Chains A and B, each alone.
Chain A
């Protein structure tokens, strides 16, 4: 269970490095430092929180599919929560903290709430 999570997080790390290389090759005129920051932001805001939350269904949905859909899930939760908590007075400019909370929630789901496979 934990091994699988570790292995997939390693794969996410490989995707992170691969994304930086791919983006640098495609956006030739963008400085490397800027690309690294943009890719890290995408991982922090969209990929990691969503991936961890979708880990709940890891037995049924393959890794790459969970990673892509995690982006959608993270964006959905983040956008909706951000709208409402800003309405009640928490300034949107401080919402950069929200993905961190989602990541913590994601770890909770991945490590505690995810159904464990039954031993054969």
Chain B
């Protein structure tokens, strides 16, 4: 048997991979892959993607969104880019991992692979620069970039992985039938998160413009892209029709300037401290290098994605900030360029110098020995290990609900510390209603018992719940009704199940209100069917009848 020769480069890549796996997932996940509940889900969007995956798994396809996500409508079009969910289901079914672990594991895995793909792209340009650049990409697991993973920007991260694969296929554009690779990766980008495909389209225009400028086989490249584009268009046509009738209809382009995402932490250029200066110098040097005719892909792509990260100033909204989550990958070339070009002026370069610099940077960014923490203005990885929003008690309660209640059960959430996160409520896999906490507390303090409370329905209500009116014609449920308006009083007795917290980490008095009303409920014939230390579920055998009088 022929065993392959082990090169030092391979050892370097294995060390890098091990460090990425450790800092990215293992530390966060308590050195486990399988968990007994959604783990390290730190924001509502994480639950949104997971429950969507579960909905598709239960239905067997993504023709429609799950009705528990859509106020009970069962024919709302499956309009979210589907790639991540399908891959997660297949991976879950084969590996035995629960879908909530499979989906997040895939995101980490693809992000780590994205760093390797960039390495291969840079290696074709200059191996030394590739080696020195790689460590900077570890910073995708630091600061605001990390929230792309823990706060649920997963489809965007997967799409950027495929966008980077598109860059790699452009590197190989001169190969026979390279259009097949470009088409495959571009189609995947469209079906993973379409806005990244739009950025990819702009990149190709930018790239072609440079090729025309340098007269670097522009016609051949143009026709390769054209073939890839046609194939990709055909392969994604059905989803693009849905995208046009849903996302572009409801969230079309509109000029605006925003400086932060609002919903989640934003990556800012200054976060990179002194390395921000190095990136600026690398950027300027790259602009000068644009003149050269040699392989320019790393130069063009690094310049492009630095600029795209600022398109929040021209109306790209949160999409620009999502690109910034991967800035450590896109911009690592600038770091490698400077750390290689400048010392090389003074030294007779040796490959070991590149590895030494890379290992020093790797140690610095990974904060080995806690050294980086004591150096000002150096970005570094900070260990985060968190089980996330879902505790075992709520998970037990929600699992009980979707195993023991009818699918069309009306479920009302009373007070709970985490109940303000809409997508978290959807974990129960039933249409969730929730009391308005302030009104709930106020109304319960009235001397006369009242049935009417402010109760709101919740769901994944982007795009106004689109449905097929006829072939290729869309209707929008939420544009046609005011039935689900928030802030209105509704009868609290009109529900089948009530879920409530027995304790609060925010204010110990809040559960007193839950206790008060559930005691009244029980006095009116309702039964507590489930209870653990933290959560209770009450069943109402006679919805609509007086339950508080």
Contacts and interface: CB of A to CB of B under 8 A. Distances in A.
A84 B113 contact: no
A54 to B, nearest CB: 8
Interface stretch (B44-52, B87-95, B481-489, B513-521): B87-95
Given A92-B60, A98-B90, A26 B21 contact: yes
A68 interface: yes
A22 B18 contact: yes
B432 interface: no
Contacts of B62: 83, 86-87
Interface string B244-255: 000000000000
B134 interface: no
A108 interface: no
Interface string B18-43: 10011000100111111000000000
A97 B349 CA distance: 51
Contact of B184 (A10, A45, A76): A76
A65 B17 CA distance: 15
B94 A87 contact: no
Q: Which of B17, B34, B175 has the most CB of A within 10 A?
A: B34
Contacts of B177: 56
A118 interface: no
Contacts of A23: 21, 33
A79 B88 CA distance: 9
B238 interface: yes
B527 interface: no
Q: Which of A11, A76, A93 has the most CB of B within 10 A?
A: A76
Interface residues on A, range: 35 or more
Nearest to B186: A76
B359 interface: no
B82 interface: yes
Contacts of A10: 1-3
Nearest to A10: B1
B426 interface: no
Contacts of B191: 79-80, 83
Interface stretch (B135-143, B160-168, B286-294, B386-394): B160-168
B343 interface: no
B94 A26 contact: no
Interface in B207-260: 235-236, 238-239
A72 B160 CA distance: 11
Contacts of B181: 73
Which 3 pairs from chain A and chain B are nearest by CB?
A76-B188, A91-B60, A86-B61
Interface of B: 1-4, 10, 13-14, 17-18, 21-22, 26, 29-34, 56-57, 60-63, 82-84, 86-87, 89-91, 93-97, 109-110, 113, 116-117, 120, 161-162, 165, 168, 172, 175-177, 181, 184-185, 187-188, 191-192, 235-236, 238-239
Given A11-B4, A23-B33, A72-B162, 10 more contacts: A41-B94, A44-B94, A65-B120, A68-B120, A69-B168, A78-B86, A82-B90, A92-B56, A92-B60, A96-B93
Interface of A: 7, 10-11, 14, 18, 22-23, 25-30, 34-35, 37-38, 41-42, 44-45, 56-57, 60-61, 64-65, 68-69, 71-73, 75-80, 82-84, 86-87, 89, 91-93, 95-96, 98-99, 115
25 contacts: A10-B1, A14-B4, A26-B18, A27-B29, A29-B30, A34-B34, A34-B96, A41-B94, A56-B177, A72-B165, A73-B184, A75-B110, A76-B185, A76-B187, A76-B188, A79-B83, A79-B86, A80-B83, A80-B188, A80-B191, A82-B89, A87-B62, A95-B86, A95-B89, A96-B90
